[in-house]
Amino acid sequence: MLLTPHTLVGIAVAVSVKEPLIAVPTSFFLHFLGDLVPHWDFCIESEEGKTDPYYPLKVIADLSIGVGIGLFFTLLTLWVIKDPLLSINIFLCGIASVLPDAITGPAIFNKEKKGIPYIMMKIQHIVHFPARPPWGVISQILVSLSCLILILHSLELL
């Protein structure tokens, strides 16, 4: 899945499970469950050998939106809702939810077939369920919207 829906899943966990010791590992493991949802991502084209000159830009855009959403809810709960513990939980869960992809990152660019990034890449390939647009995009919109509704409802903003 793209980083943005992964981040929203992490935030949804953070607002639902107040205990960081449970919420943070749950967010991490839900990353793999999220990748089991049939989805489209930038890797599909590159795995088929197509060279997309905008690949790095697309990844940066996805990363920026994910980080932006994570920071938005971290700061919203800190400054507006004034719940520092929830804010920390959201921050940590947001990071944990995208951590598997961050760990995998070096293995994509480094051809060495060993180390933690390579092992994580292998694990991610097993649980990865690619799907073409439109369904591979619609599935992620549905996951993102469900999480957003849950987040806003939990924060009593909806």
Select from 39-47, 107-115, 121-129, 134-142 the region that touches Zn ion (CB under 5 A): 121-129
Please classify residue 134 by burial: count the beta carbons closer than 10 Å to its beta carbon, then call 0-12 exposed, 13-18 middle and 19+ buried: exposed
In the complex, least distance from residue 25 CB atom to Zn ion, rounded to whole angstroms: 16
Whole-angstrom CA distances from 33 to 48, 54, 110, 111 are 24, 28, 26, 27
Under rule CB under 5 A, residue 41 binds Zn ion:
no
Q: Which residues touch 112 (CB under 8 Å, ≥6 apart)?
A: 118
Query: Which residues pair with residue 130 across a beta bridge?
Result: 39
Within 13 Å and on the Cβ side, how many CA atoms surround 136? Answer: 15
Q: Which residue, 62 or 101, is less far from Zn ion as judged by CB?
A: 101
Q: Which residue, 35 or 62, is less far from Zn ion as judged by CB?
A: 35
In the complex, least distance from residue 124 CB atom to Zn ion, rounded to whole angstroms: 5
The one-letter code for the residue type at 23 is: A
In the complex, least distance from residue 121 CB atom to Zn ion, rounded to whole angstroms: 9
Q: Which residue, 66 or 87, is less far from Zn ion as judged by CB?
A: 66
Under rule CB under 5 A, residue 101 binds Zn ion:
yes
Under rule CB under 5 A, residue 62 binds Zn ion:
no
Which residues sit at the interface with Zn ion, rule CB under 5 A?
A: 35, 101, 124
